[in-house]
Structure 1
Amino acid sequence: MTIWERPEPKPRAAPVPLSRDKIAATAIRLADAHGLDGLSVRKIAKELGVGPMRLYDYVVNRSELLDLMVDVVYARIARADRRAGWRDTVLDIAHATREAALDHEWFADILGGRPHLGPHALAVGEANAAALAQAPGIDGLDELQRALGALNSFIIGAIRREVTERRTTRDTGDDINAFQSRLGPYLRRMLDTGDYPTVARLVIDGAHLEPAETFAHNLTTVLDGITG
């Protein structure tokens, strides 16, 4: 049975009471601080003040631990505002997913991997699919699958890119202003050759929005495209 079908062990008298919720919360705190590479049952047990073997009564392996962690994040996404229209619902879920991933960067590493089948993940998936199924231009299951695929690909790619850029800035200390100052003169010389006129227009005349604005703008463009 999956962890979602297997009953949680009954509470027992112990100096440190445990639960799957408590284990997941501790794992998330460690992953937020150190990433998934720094996550292990032994470290979680030490943080909780228990022996590692006690945790195996609640989660049998690392995959189940990740399942618990991921579904806690989806619980937050599931609480996103739901408005009457299909479009607002899809937008709310997309923005809530981005915000959750920015608060828990390890979540971006897991997005797009194996299916997320916890109860909250399924609830988010149902809400998103049900809303998009009501969109104009979505006629039948095949079109809904293609639309969901395109939308999810954009959301996952955009979130991963933003998280990667944030990590790079932290790791190198090279923010966008420092990057532009260091490489700007080279780029200007290259653009002045006239060999890259379209790139030049984008760099010089294009809008350079903040990440949240970029995500919102591009999300709208994608949604218009797949439902138009």
Structure 2
Amino acid sequence: MAARKKSSGAEAPVLWERLERPTAAPRAALTPQKIAAVAVRVADAEGFAAVTMRRLATELGVAPMAAYRHVAGKDDLWALMVDQVMTELTVPDEVTGWRDVLRGYALGSRAMMLRHPWLAQLPAPHFVLTPNRMAAAERQLAALDGHGMDTDTMMAAFRAVNAYVHGATQSEVALRQYMEDNGWASGDESRRALAPQMTYLMETGRYPTYRRYALGARRKDDAAWQFETGLDCVLDGIAVRVGDQGR
């Protein structure tokens, strides 16, 4: 999505280059930033599918084609929306250890995705390149740099953490939506509703370890604990690679 698009035989400037170009003209009342803010608000309230150029034009009080002067299409719109919410993702400058930096961004990313569940619905979230996403990636890669990993391994470690964060939080968002769609207000309600299926499967005797979990687990509904424990497992693996605990 960051690639330059061909236009009349020449390379057209990418979205971020267009936004950073100085201009002598007065700042327009309608800007890409305003479009992004409204798009995020609509997506937060009604889901990603509700965000259309026609809906945005209505919310902004402009003609449908007016937004296209600032946003070329859905790829630009996704990028602007992602960049907008990425401003919420920060780790204090005084945090410097690689483990603390990556853990801080991971916890912040989960919180951000829970605030904006539509992030889990983007068709290709890992390929939406924006200045704020790149800044977050740069900070994490810089924290990993200098610990004995070559650049390929360093990137693989960074991507492993981010893949875990996205996958785990995407599952959490999907579970919340599934419970809401079925009218289940708690984990206990969902387990009661699914009890006939689970009982049959457990009574086959084929899943003894899962049965032990089902009967003995005490943190089934503690999503934050589950996320952080899984995250620490990933970070522990990186610690083995770098030979320290990230301090």
TM-score, normalised with respect to structure 2? 0.81
- Deviation (angstroms), 1:199: 1.1
Read off the aligned partner of 1:6 and give its amino acid letter.
R
Identity %: 35
Instruction: List aligned pairs for 1:68-79, cutoff 5 A.
Output: 68-77=80-89, 79=90
| Alpha-carbon distance between aligned partners in 1 of 2:78 and 2:231, rounded to the nearest angstrom | 28
List alignment gaps of at least 5 residues for structure 1.
none
Task: Look up the match of 2:51.
Answer: 39
Read off the aligned partner of 1:48 and give its amino acid letter.
L
| Alpha-carbon distance between aligned partners in 2 of 1:191 and 1:88, rounded to the nearest angstrom | 40
* Mapped contact 1:116–1:122 kept (Cα < 8 A): no
Read off the aligned partner of 1:200 and give its amino acid letter.
R
Residue among 76, 79, 87 paired with 2:99: 87
Moved over 4 A (4+): none
TM-score, normalised with respect to structure 1? 0.88
| Alpha-carbon distance between aligned partners in 1 of 2:203 and 2:69, rounded to the nearest angstrom | 65
11 and 114 in structure 1: CA distance in 2 versus 1, 3 angstrom threshold:
farther
Task: Look up the match of 1:101.
Answer: 113
Between 84-93 and 167-176, the greater mean CA deviation after superposition: 167-176
**Cα RMSD after superposing both structures:** 2.2
Task: Look up the match of 2:180.
Answer: 170
Give per-residue Cα distances to partners, 1:12-55, cap 9 Å, x unaligned. Answer: 67xxx212211110010111122221111111111011111221
| Residue 153 in structure 1 maps to residue 151 in structure 2 | no
Give per-residue Cα distances to partners, 1:133-171, cap 9 Å, x unaligned. Answer: 355xx5211221221232222111101100101111121
Aligned length in residues? 222
- Deviation (angstroms), 1:184: 2.9
| Alpha-carbon distance between aligned partners in 1 of 2:126 and 2:97, rounded to the nearest angstrom | 30
- Deviation (angstroms), 1:192: 4.4
| Residue 184 in structure 1 maps to residue 174 in structure 2 | no
Residue among 42, 47, 63 paired with 2:75: 63
* Mapped contact 1:45–1:55 kept (Cα < 8 A): yes
